[in-house]
Structures are given as structure tokens and as C-alpha cells.
Amino acid sequence: MLKTSILLPVLLATLIATPAFADPGAAPPDKAAPQQRFQQKRAEILRKRLGLDEKRASEVEKVLNKYAPERKKLRQSIAEQQKTLRELLQKNSDDQAGYKRALDALTDSMTKLNTLRQQEQGELSKLMTPKQQAQLLEVMLKARKGMRGMHGPKHHDKP
């Protein structure tokens, strides 16, 4: 039960993460349209599929948007440290200090991201029932899988 109570909030927060720009008007032209479509789709899901009224859906969106910039920053840090580790491994480096720095930074960013997700989930749990949270998790998981397909597979094993 404890694992589920920790895992569900982490997964929910991961899957409902918003893209980089909280203000679609501030996004570069090539990024604004997808961001706007994403927010419109999310708004539709919150209201129609989850049955949230306008006020509650707006409150949920505010929570999601509140945590998005820091979540993005931490995800970028995680990706950078993972890239550093891959590069060290590909070079067959013996730079133990380099590995340690990258691993320490990776662990730190992952810990901060988990803490951020728990804070976000704590706020969302005050606005949504557990069933609504699970429904949102399911819908966003499908959406995230679809978005991954649009960008193609990741190639971490490339030389």
C-alpha cells in the first residue's frame, strides 16, 4: 500500500506534466501552436472526461502550470547528466571524478523532481477525487505515448 501511495502520485505528476511554456504567447512561433493545442486538450479532458466544473478545472490547471517550469528545468538537468554519463561510458573513460559528479548531480535532480511531484500531487489531491486522478493518469499516459511516437524513438545507443 505504501508503494502504491508513493508511486501513484509520482506517476500522475510525471504524466500530467505540461510542456515548457506556461504562457503560450511567450513561446516561439514553432512551439506556440502545439502548446496551445496541448492546453486546450488538457482543458477538455479535465472538464468532459473527468467531469470537473469550470472552477475546479481551472484550479487544477493552475496547479499543473505552477510546477511546470521547475519540472522542465529538473528534467533538462536529468537529461544532461544522463548524456554526460553516456558520453563517459562511450569513451570508456576512467574519469571516476567525472562519473561521480554526474551521478551526484543526477541523483540530486531526481530527488528534487520527486519532491516537486509530491508537492504537486498533494495539491491535486485536494482538488480531485482519487478516481479522477486515476482517470487523468490513464488519459495522460496515452497522450504521452502518442507524443513520443510523433518525435520518433530515442537513440541513446548511438555512437
Structural domains of the chain, count: 1
Boundaries of domain holding 80: 53-152
Q: Is residue 10 part of a domain?
A: no
Q: Are 143 and 41 in contact (CB under 8 A)?
A: yes
Query: What global pTM score does this model have?
Result: 0.68
Q: Is residue 106 part of a domain?
A: yes
Mean pLDDT per segment of 10 residues, for the chain of length 159 residues? Answer: 49 44 49 79 88 93 93 95 97 96 97 95 93 85 71 49
How many residues comprise the chain?
159
Q: Are 133 and 124 in contact (CB under 8 A)?
A: yes
CA-angle at 54, arms to 53 and 55, nearest 5°: 95
Q: Is residue 48 part of a domain?
A: no
Q: Is residue 35 part of a domain?
A: no
**What is residue 116's predicted lDDT score, i.e. its pLDDT?**
96
